[in-house]
Amino acid sequence: MMKNVNNSSDIEQKINIRFKNKDLLKQVFVHRSYLNENPNLGLTHNERLEFLGDAVLELIITEYLYINYPNPEGELTNWRSALVKGKKLAEVSKKIGLNDHLLLSRGESKSLGKAREIILANALEALIGAIYLDQGYNVAKKFILSNLVIYLSEILEKELYKDAKSHFQELAQEKTSITPSYNVLNQSGPDHAKIFEIGLFLNDKLIAKGRGASKQEAEQAAAEEALSTYFK
């Protein structure tokens, strides 16, 4: 793994940023779990960079929305939330290749689904924090505008800023006059780490499925899946 993270030139090429402090870029990929197995790495984990990057990301997107849209605060808040939610950050993280450079413990490296999504989203926030420290505000702003804000038009057009369950219910009632229902299809895992699989139904017809660590999370996942497939 160290071979990948030490060879940071491909990441720099993808994001078109040359870091002055290469160790800062390497730190972006270090998950806390990796240090438990590699205590002599010489770098700390990425959580402080993630903390900083989260704040930088929110400020830059807030500034962009405030300058470019005269909408009420509530609407802007919803739009911002859609841009910075973990799923979107994880998508961008994968797109620019961060997944290939993550330094994880042997156990954590096997994580999939929501757990890996969180790790990828955190890595992107850590990268933003590292860019801010190494290159300054304007370069961080350019990176965020180029890699995240470009999705704003799609979010507005498809109304992805709305709560998925509420949005699907509105569409279902408008187009079919049916109120959707949700039922547990399956649950697995120990009591402290259960995974729920929820089915979204229109009458008795199964429309979509969703998985999550809670019933509410799984219902949202099912609604998101239905929004992307059923009413296209």
- The residues annotated with a catalytic role in the active site are 54, 125
Residue with tokens 């096997």: 110
For the chain, what is the radius of gyration of the CA atoms? Answer: 20
Start-to-end Cα distance in the chain: 41
Contacting residues for 226 by C-beta, under 8 A, at least 6 apart: 168, 180, 200, 207, 208
Residue 29 burial class via C-beta count within 10 angstroms: exposed 0-12, middle 13-18, buried 19 and up: buried
For 198, phi then psi, to 5°, come to -115, 140
For 226, phi then psi, to 5°, come to -65, -40
What is the rounded distance in angstroms from the CA atom of residue 223 to the CA atom of residue 55?
29
Pairing of strands 195-202, 181-188: antiparallel
| Length reported for the chain | 232
What is the rounded distance in angstroms from the CA atom of residue 92 to the CA atom of residue 169?
28
What is the rounded distance in angstroms from the CA atom of residue 22 to the CA atom of residue 158?
40
